[in-house]
């Protein structure tokens, strides 16, 4: 996966995307015991607005010899799903994502408090399960989590969820 992250870092260096951060189950691996996942989710901020924000990424990667499979690009054998930032919570999560290392490669990973907030916002069954795991196992700054949840009107949903 380190080779994959180097390719993704190059997308930012070449200004194909403005910024990115790892999200989803791979991001959760930085904070809790492993979760089952198939792909690497990359939340990204576009360089330009438009209807087809994925085109510059797919085009750049295609020129580099990478192939697509369904909604993924296979980069160095890793299925990568590029997800454009689609709301203010995720945009803030990407912008504030800490830089971490995978092997020797630097990468941005969405912070644990933002991951939990995104899980609460999305609220699919797998997100609820992962949120429970994160709350039980990860070191979470509860003050920051509350601030994020309140800012994005998710605090009441979180409290109801937590009380179950």
Q: Tell me: domain 2-163, CATH 3.30.460, correct?
A: yes
Measured CA to CA, the distance from residue 50 to residue 147 in angstroms comes to 32
Per-residue pLDDT tens digits for 78-99? 999 999 999 999 999 999 999 9
Distances (CA, A) of 77 to 43, 80, 129, 133: 19, 9, 28, 28
- Specify the pLDDT at position 103: 93
Q: What is the pTM of this model?
A: 0.92
Per-residue pLDDT tens digits for 43-55? 999 998 877 999 9
pLDDT at 21 > cutoff 90: yes
CB burial of 85-117 (b: ≥16 within 10 Å; e: otherwise) equals: beeebbebbbeebeeeebeeeebbbbbbbbbbb
> Diameter of the chain by CA atoms?
51
Per-residue pLDDT tens digits for 97-143? 999 999 999 999 999 999 999 999 999 999 999 999 999 999 999 99
Name, in order, each residue with C-beta under 8 angstroms of 69's C-beta and a sequence gap of 6 or more.
Answer: 79
- Specify the pLDDT at position 152: 98
- Nearest-5° Cα angle at 84, 148 to 138: 40
């Amino acid at each position: 996966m380190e080779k994959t992250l180097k390719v993704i870092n190059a997308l930012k260096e070449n200004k194909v995307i403005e910024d990115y951060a790892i999200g989803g189950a791979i991001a959760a691996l930085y904070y809790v015991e492993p979760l089952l996942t198939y792909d690497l989710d990359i939340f990204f901020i576009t360089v330009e607005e438009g209807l087809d924000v994925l085109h510059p990424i797919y085009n750049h990667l295609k020129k580099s010899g990478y192939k697509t499979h369904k909604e993924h690009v296979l980069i160095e054998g890793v299925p990568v799903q590029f997800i454009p930032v689609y709301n203010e919570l995720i945009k803030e999560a990407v912008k504030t994502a800490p830089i971490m290392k995978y092997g020797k490669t630097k990468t941005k990973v969405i912070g644990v408090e933002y991951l939990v907030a995104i899980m609460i916002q999305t609220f699919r069954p797998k997100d609820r399960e992962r949120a429970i795991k994160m709350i039980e196992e990860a070191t979470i700054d509860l003050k920051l989590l509350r601030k994020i949840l309140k800012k994005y009107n998710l605090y009441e949903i979180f409290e109801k969820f937590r009380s179950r």
